[in-house]
A and B are shown apart, each in its own frame.
Chain A
Amino acid sequence: METRGVRVRHALIVVWLLAMIIFVYIPSVCITLASLTSSRYFTFPIPKWGLDWWQKTLSSIEIHQILETSIMIAAVVTVIAVVLAFFGALAFARYDWKGRSIYQKLVLLPIFFPQSVLGLALLLWFNALGLQLSWQTAVFAHLVWIVPVVTLVIAIQVYSFDPALEEAAFDLGATRLQVLREVTIPVLMPGIFSGSLFAFLLSWGNFPLSLFTTGADTTVPEYLYAKMVAGYTPGVPVLGTIATIGAIVFLIGGYLVMLALNRRRSAA
């Protein structure tokens, strides 16, 4: 009886795994396959394999410009979001203060707004303020959505943080600033680090907010969309693959850094 139960469980695990691969990972691989064609058009099966479009894409000044814009936005968003979210998370999870429960709800609300509506609203707002749209306004738009996410990520770490650590440091003579530098930031570092990964990747992949707020500047997702609508070349899947690989490399790099930090922390 038991062996049958085990077999059923195994079968279900296999089915689940296959479904994951078919629905989630195969499509991503298709993008890469589509980028490896030598022909001008998107046909399957691929008539002639080649790296021609990779060459063209990598040497295109336009693509460089677009990658630069995306990286710039993501980097600036990461720095600002982590700083804001760090203090926001302390207010969210560490301290008990009047109005905290309202703050907790307000700060998370933007996550649930439809992003396209948020983008449109911000576009109107920037116009009303008379601001020229550019990558800077896009940074602001991304922050509106990403700061809450990063706040949540860091807050989870803060919840497992023993407030007595700060009290102990303070009791041992440290000033508030020294407590922050010597205890709070280092202890929350894993949360801050994963928060910054989230910030970068969410900004890197964001389309709806960028669409409304970048003005003349173009990010990678915007470019992909524009080229799909009009003027498809296999350069589109090339850039798509680059964007995906970039995210994967970033994640793995982050994971390795985290691993190294943990190892240093628990070194004998």
Chain B
Amino acid sequence: MAAGDGAILLLKGLTKIFAGHRAVDAIDLQIREGEMFTIVGPSGSGKTTLLRMLAGMETPTSGDIILRGQRINDIPANRRPTCMVFQSLALFPHKDVGDNIEFSLKIRGVPKAERKQRALELMRLLRLPDHYYDRAVTRISGGERQRVALARALAFDPEILFFDEPLSALDYKLRKTLEKELKDIHRETKKTFVYITHSLEEAMVMSDRIGVMRDGRLVQIGTPQEIYTEPNSKFVSEFVGDVNVLSVSVLPSGKLKAAQIPHEMVAPATMNGVKSAGFLVVRPEFLRFLDAPGDADNHVVGRLYNEYALGSRIQYQVRVGELVFVLEKLRHEAFAGGLDQEVLIGWDAVNTIVVPDR
């Protein structure tokens, strides 16, 4: 892709230094027109600072923010064609639902009747009943407040919508529903969404592409599929749910050796440049109980320590010396053996990758 081709937002060496600390460190990124891009990282990784620079609420120390070919570093938030949905939602507590949604239109001097019409359109899009128009924002539920905040941002008709972990305060079930709703809204509106969250699981559900952030840097950018199946570092591989990460060394033969496993292991094709020492990543769904050692490329004998019901799946913990492996099976394929029993587990090299320690 040529520079800027299809990109609505271009970041070049974007850096923010707070009191000597590089909160955001030389980020280069292209965000494509109409995509849903999620920046995910643990707290303190700099993702909020990055988003606040994009929205115009922090000034970069160095680097450029280029929106549709125009450098916008010095344009304040109120003159940028972008809009943010805040973590706290920041709904105006003294205004009704309608007045909240219409705020940007009122600022632009749009006549009341037209404003109301637009607000009602957005409320319908977001499945808020019409009679909520006159309701106080303090008297609606968490999920409804979420929708009002989104409607308020959409009323602004921004070129890019930024989201600062708006779902983090909600309970699990509601969060899951709203994640999908948000993705549907993204589809409906065809706008560019830039979302930040600390939950890679959340990012996976919604995003076209994900950027994983650590210590102010983007360590990997890719589709949810790529991030899940081809993490480029130990950090990224461990970011999604439970995963088996095994410290390994590469033998001259090309096979792998881990301290607690007696056999040499077949290496995967994807080595991410690891030449001597790295980490073998095996997702729990690719580990299985074996009848005989030859049933998989690699095997190890362990003790079934515990099992956990995860709804549709069951997770097993198998201990091999000090190592702990987690396996997952669908409920209807549950393992028949009992706890504390010796078990043979294994995996095929094709389902694994090796990553460097980053």
**Given A168-B84, A173-B108, does the pair A186, B94 have CB atoms closer than 8 Å?**
yes
Distance in angstroms from B31 CB to nearest chain A CB is 18
Stretch at the interface among A127-135, A146-154, A206-214, A260-268: A260-268
Out of B87, B88, B107, name the residue touching A172 (CB < 8 Å).
B107
Within 8 A of A (CB), among B130-178: 134-136, 138-139, 152-153, 156
**Given A172-B156, A173-B104, does the pair A164, B86 have CB atoms closer than 8 Å?**
yes
Chain B residue numbers with a CB within 8 Å of A172 are 78, 83, 103-104, 107, 152-153, 156
Chain B residue numbers with a CB within 8 Å of A164 are 86-88, 90
* Interface check B77, CB cutoff 8 A: yes
Chain B residue numbers with a CB within 8 Å of A175 are 78
Q: Is A178's CB under 8 angstroms from B90's CB?
A: no
Query: What are the interface flags for B279-302 relative to A under an 8 Å C-beta threshold, 1 for contact and 0 otherwise?
Result: 000000000000000000000000
Distance between Cα atoms of A61 and B57 in the complex (Å):
60
* Interface check B92, CB cutoff 8 A: yes
Q: Is A268's CB under 8 angstroms from B136's CB?
A: yes
**Given A172-B83, A268-B135, does the pair A183, B92 have CB atoms closer than 8 Å?**
yes
Query: What are the interface flags for A178-211 relative to B under an 8 Å C-beta threshold, 1 for contact and 0 otherwise?
Result: 1000110011010000000000000000000000
Chain A residue numbers with a CB within 8 Å of B136 are 265-268
Within 8 A of B (CB), among A165-180: 165, 167-175, 178
Q: Is B103's CB under 8 angstroms from A171's CB?
A: no
Q: Is B90's CB under 8 angstroms from A165's CB?
A: yes
Q: Is A174's CB under 8 angstroms from B90's CB?
A: no
Distance in angstroms from A175 CB to nearest chain B CB is 7
Q: Is B55's CB under 8 angstroms from A171's CB?
A: yes
Distance between Cα atoms of A267 and B139 in the complex (Å):
9
Q: How many chain A residues touch B (Cβ–Cβ < 8 Å)?
A: 22
Distance between Cα atoms of A189 and B95 in the complex (Å):
13
Interface centre among B82, B88, B152 (most CB of A within 10 A): B88
* Interface check B93, CB cutoff 8 A: yes
Within 8 A of A (CB), among B105-119: 107-108
Query: What are the interface flags for A50-90 relative to B under an 8 Å C-beta threshold, 1 for contact and 0 otherwise?
Result: 00000000000000000000000000000000000000000
**Given A173-B104, A173-B108, A266-B138, does the pair A168, B86 have CB atoms closer than 8 Å?**
yes
**Given A164-B90, A265-B136, A266-B139, does the pair A171, B56 have CB atoms closer than 8 Å?**
yes
Main SS class of interface, A:
helix
Distance between Cα atoms of A171 and B36 in the complex (Å):
20
Q: Is B77's CB under 8 angstroms from A187's CB?
A: no
Distance in angstroms from A79 CB to nearest chain B CB is 23
Q: Is A169's CB under 8 angstroms from B57's CB?
A: no
Q: Is B77's CB under 8 angstroms from A170's CB?
A: yes
Distance between Cα atoms of A186 and B139 in the complex (Å):
18
Q: Is A167's CB under 8 angstroms from B57's CB?
A: yes
Query: What are the interface flags for A139-166 relative to B under an 8 Å C-beta threshold, 1 for contact and 0 otherwise?
Result: 0000000000000000000000010110
Q: Is A169's CB under 8 angstroms from B94's CB?
A: no
Out of B56, B92, B138, name the residue touching A169 (CB < 8 Å).
B92
Chain A residue numbers with a CB within 8 Å of B107 are 172-174, 178, 182
Chain A residue numbers with a CB within 8 Å of B78 are 170-175
Chain A residue numbers with a CB within 8 Å of B108 are 173
Out of A162, A189, A265, name the residue touching B90 (CB < 8 Å).
A162
Q: Is B139's CB under 8 angstroms from A165's CB?
A: no
Distance in angstroms from B336 CB to nearest chain A CB is 54
Distance between Cα atoms of A242 and B272 in the complex (Å):
87
Distance in angstroms from A96 CB to nearest chain B CB is 12
Q: Which residue of B lies closest to A178 (CB)?
A: B107
Distance between Cα atoms of A171 and B87 in the complex (Å):
14
Q: Is A268's CB under 8 angstroms from B139's CB?
A: yes
Distance between Cα atoms of A267 and B103 in the complex (Å):
19
Distance between Cα atoms of A174 and B83 in the complex (Å):
12
Q: Which residue of A lies closest to B83 (CB)?
A: A171
Q: Which residue of A lies closest to B152 (CB)?
A: A172
Chain B residue numbers with a CB within 8 Å of A189 are 94
Chain B residue numbers with a CB within 8 Å of A267 are 136
**Given A178-B107, A268-B135, does the pair A171, B77 have CB atoms closer than 8 Å?**
yes
Chain A residue numbers with a CB within 8 Å of B77 are 167, 170-171
Q: Is B90's CB under 8 angstroms from A167's CB?
A: yes
Q: Which residue of B lies closest to A171 (CB)?
A: B77
Q: Is A187's CB under 8 angstroms from B103's CB?
A: no
Distance between Cα atoms of A267 and B96 in the complex (Å):
9
Chain B residue numbers with a CB within 8 Å of A174 are 78, 103, 107
| Beyond A162-B88, A165-B93, 19 extra complex contacts between A and B, CB < 8 Å | A164-B88, A165-B90, A167-B90, A168-B90, A169-B92, A169-B103, A170-B78, A171-B78, A171-B84, A172-B152, A172-B156, A173-B78, A174-B107, A183-B92, A186-B94, A265-B138, A266-B136, A268-B136, A268-B139
Closest 4 pairs (CB-CB, A-B): A168-B90, A164-B90, A172-B104, A186-B94
Which residues of chain A have a CB within 8 Å of any CB of chain B?
A: 162, 164-165, 167-175, 178, 182-183, 186-187, 189, 265-268
Which residues of chain B have a CB within 8 Å of any CB of chain A?
A: 55-57, 76-79, 82-84, 86-88, 90, 92-94, 103-104, 107-108, 134-136, 138-139, 152-153, 156
Sampled A-B contacts (27; CB under 8 Å): A164-B86, A164-B88, A165-B92, A167-B57, A167-B90, A168-B92, A170-B57, A171-B55, A171-B77, A171-B78, A171-B82, A171-B84, A172-B78, A172-B83, A172-B156, A173-B78, A173-B79, A173-B107, A173-B156, A174-B107, A175-B78, A265-B94, A265-B138, A266-B139, A268-B134, A268-B135, A268-B139
